[in-house]
Structure 1
């Protein structure tokens, strides 16, 4: 067995007897300073060890979501009717999708951007085959011309009031006019307004009765509306509850649609109309008219990862629009790219990269409102968005896994005067590069090594300072003794 004396011989830390050592006031001061320095440096090293360290690089986009990019949006248009509000998508590869409805929802809103009812189910506007009768013969006026003062009187006199809101300059209104007047004469012969009283066919010139047309939220011409006595005005802030007709516009189709309206009403003069819900739902040519002139458009679209446009505008293949009456002022509640992040994932993003996430929705809460002068000048509101993907990688020991993907963008907006119908255009340009943020955690062994270096280094430096200070004091004392001798 190894003796105790031989074991002691390998002691690196041989002890000096306490009786041979001498304590000094300067050494005590240095010891206190050294201890405080050790505690401070240890705290700094512990904070560095517990903090998140990342490295950032720029690489070619290698997205796992393929060649498509999701765009989520929630935009309120105080002056654009849900009846014609259309979301269109196009890109530089030639993709052109009009009036997307499958993933887009629309809600009528009041001037305060509050929804006035349930979702507005406009559906796609049918592509008409017959916009009117191709006749050369002379035709007279069969419908009644209504004004702002006579509209209310006639709407309360007849169970059904069918009104053609038109503009004389509109091509589609002029195409409709012969068949409309012929259908009106036919219905007048079958259902005399004085003797029967169940239906009246009328027309309103929106270039003359502008206030009346705005009150009924007319933005496209011609707009055919069906008013039912007794149900056309609810006790709901004066909102009108009626239908819009989108069916064929030849005389026979118009007469058939009007006959269907009359069929649900008993043959008694001035009888209140009773709505036939089954008939409404089964007839795709008639849909509810918008309750207000505002619309909130929300949902998402999937686009290719190439420069393109998302456009919200008034659109119809069978109506004309007066550009001076179209106002695309809007308030953006959300406009984001990529997958929606949960609250837990957003918290993790902030922990790993506090500087990331502040620009993933730069347009949120922004308002773009045009003045009356701008509206008359046909103003299109454009947003130019440059999109960059950020991918965050979290490392745990030797394992590596992807934590999340986030898209950030810069936004530049402007008002552009246009010769055409004003639109709200979002031009997006995805970057072919992506930002890669990788977490780089410190190892525990590195932390222990640094702690030992701190303790040993401070102790050694303090010892050197103490030796220098002690020898300096001894030298000074010797010099003073030499002078006195």
Structure 2
């Protein structure tokens, strides 16, 4: 066996008997300073160990999240009616989707962006609307021309007032005119306005009575509105919230529709019937007219990951629009790309990378307003450059993809157009992506640094104490030599 004497010979920390050691005020001061320094440096090292470290790099995008990208939007148009508002998507591969409705919701709003009712439901509209063949035939005027002065009187007098808001230059208005006048004449003969008095077919020229058409939120020509008189007055004209007609425009269909409208109204009075006993065809061809001239569009669309366009405009296969009267001003409440991030995940992402998590959606809260009368035929375009960012967390010794987020930069412009104005969002995805990796610190590295702090401070303090002690002794010897 190894003797205790030999074992003691390898002791690195040999002890000095306590009766040979001497305490000093300088040593006590340095000890206190050393202890405080150790505590301060330990606190800094602990804080650095607990702080996440991230590395950012730019790499080629090798995404595996599919070929489609989701666009979330919430955009308000104070001067675009939900009646004609259309969300379209196209791209460089030839994709062209018009009037997306499955994932889009529309709400009528006023000029102050305040909703005026529940969700606007467009209802079924025929792709090909049937018109009469009487274009080349002679016909007589059967409907009554209304003006801003006569409209309130007729609206308050007749239980059913059906009005054709038209423009003489409009192709579809001219296609409707023969059928409309023939149907109006037939209805006038069957339900004499002076004797029967239950229904009247009329018309308004929007080029001459623009203010009247704007009050009724007419944006496409022709627009056929059905006004019902009742005790529940909505505005100064004295009618209920009215309806729009979207059925076929031939004489026979128009006459059948008018007869279905007048059937529930008692002949002896001009009171509005509560029930609607019209047939299914008539019911499907009508829907509530917009209460205001604005629309809030919200929802999402899915697009391919190639350069393309998201276009919001007024669209109809059987209406015409006056470009000089179209105002595509809008307020962007929200526009983002990719999947929505849950609040819990968002908090985790912001903990690792504070600048991520939706704070760089450049267009959120922006307003693009073209004041009426300042400039006409104005198309508003936004050019978006999209970059993907992946945040990877390294926990438990393995990589964990925390989130995939798409950020974008935007440049916007307003310019005149010879066509119907639109709001257009050009988007293009960058071939590169930003990779943010969380790098956790090693616990062994932390312990090593703590030991280095303790040993380093102790050693430096010992050196300083030795220097100070020897200096004081030397000064004492010099002092004693002078005395002798």
Under TM normalisation by the shorter chain, which class is it?
over 0.9
Task: Please report how far the alpha carbon of residue 370 of structure 1 lies from its aligned counterpart in structure 2 after TM superposition.
Answer: 1.4
8 Å contact kept, 1:229–1:273: no
3-state DSSP of counterpart to 2:357: coil
Q: Confirm or deny: 8 A CA contact 1:361 1:409 kept in the other structure.
A: yes
- Greater displacement, 459-468 / 331-340: 459-468
CA distance in structure 1 between the aligned counterparts of 2:215 and 2:85, rounded to whole angstroms: 18
Alignment of 1:289-438 (within 5 A): 289-357=289-357, 359-374=359-374, 376-438=375-437
Residue of structure 1 in register with 2:460 after alignment:
461
Matches for 1:16-415 after TM superposition, within 5 Å: 16-123=16-123, 125-230=125-230, 233-234=233-234, 240-276=240-276, 279=279, 283-357=283-357, 359-374=359-374, 376-415=375-414
Q: Distance in 1 between matches of 2:62 and 2:302?
A: 18
Alpha-carbon distance between aligned partners in 2 of 1:276 and 1:239, rounded to the nearest angstrom: 17
C-alpha distance in structure 2 between counterparts of 1:238 and 1:16, whole Å:
109
- Is the CA contact (8 Å cut-off) linking 2:86 and 2:312 kept in structure 1? yes
CA contact (8 A) 2:156 2:238 kept: no
Q: Deviations over 1:317-367 (max 9, x none)?
A: 111111222111111211111111111111101101112235442222222
Distance 1:455 1:442 in 2: 20
Q: Name the stretch that deviates more: 429-438 or 133-142.
A: 133-142
Shift of 1:126: 2.4
1:393: how far off? 1.0
Report if aligned partners of 1:280, 1:287 keep a CA contact under 8 Å in 2.
no
Contact 1:91–1:309, Cα closer than 8 Å, also in 2: yes
> Residue deviations 1:187-210, cap 9 Å, x none?
112211112112111000111111
CA distance in structure 2 between the partners assigned to 1:406 and 1:25 by the alignment: 62
Residues 357 and 408 of structure 1 are in contact (CA less than 8 Å); yes or no, is this contact kept in structure 2? Answer: no
Residue 468 of structure 1 aligns to a residue whose secondary structure is helix
Distance 1:19 1:176, change over 3 A: same
CA shift, 1:2, in A, is: 5.5
Q: Quick one: distance in 2 between partners of 1:238 and 1:28?
A: 97
Deviations 1:425-464 (A, max 9, x none): 1111121221111111112111111100110111112222
Report the Cα offset of residue 264 of structure 1: 2.8
What stretches of structure 2 of length at least 5 have no aligned partner? none
Deviates more, 1:21-30 or 1:447-456: 21-30
| CA distance 1:278–1:141, shift in 2 (3 Å) | closer
Q: Does the 8 A contact of 2:135 with 2:175 survive in 1?
A: no
CA drift of 1:76 comes to 1.2
Structure 1 pair 356–381 and aligned structure 2 pair: CA distance change class (3 A): same
Q: Distance between the aligned counterparts of 2:408 and 2:351, measured in 1?
A: 21
Partner Cα distance (2:88, 2:242) in 1: 27
Output the CA distance in 2 between the equivalents of 1:356 and 1:12.
54
> C-alpha distance in 2, partners of 1:152/1:160?
13
**Structure 1: which 5+ residue stretches go unaligned?**
none
- Would you say the 8 A contact 1:84–1:315 is kept in 2? yes
Shift, 1:212, TM fit:
0.9
Cα deviation code 1:222-247 (max 9, x no counterpart) = 00111112178448998851111111
Q: TM-score, normalised by structure 1?
A: 0.94
> C-alpha separation between the residues in 2 aligned to 1:209 and 1:278?
32
Contact 2:261 2:278 in 1 (8 A): no
- Mapped to 1, the partners of 2:372 and 2:421 lie a distance apart of 14
Whether the aligned pair in 2 keeps the contact of 1:128 and 1:247 (CA below 8 Å) is no
Q: Does 1:448 align with 2:426?
A: no
The secondary structure found in structure 2 opposite 1:339 is: coil
Cα 1:280–1:331, aligned 2, differ >3 Å: closer, same or farther?
Answer: farther
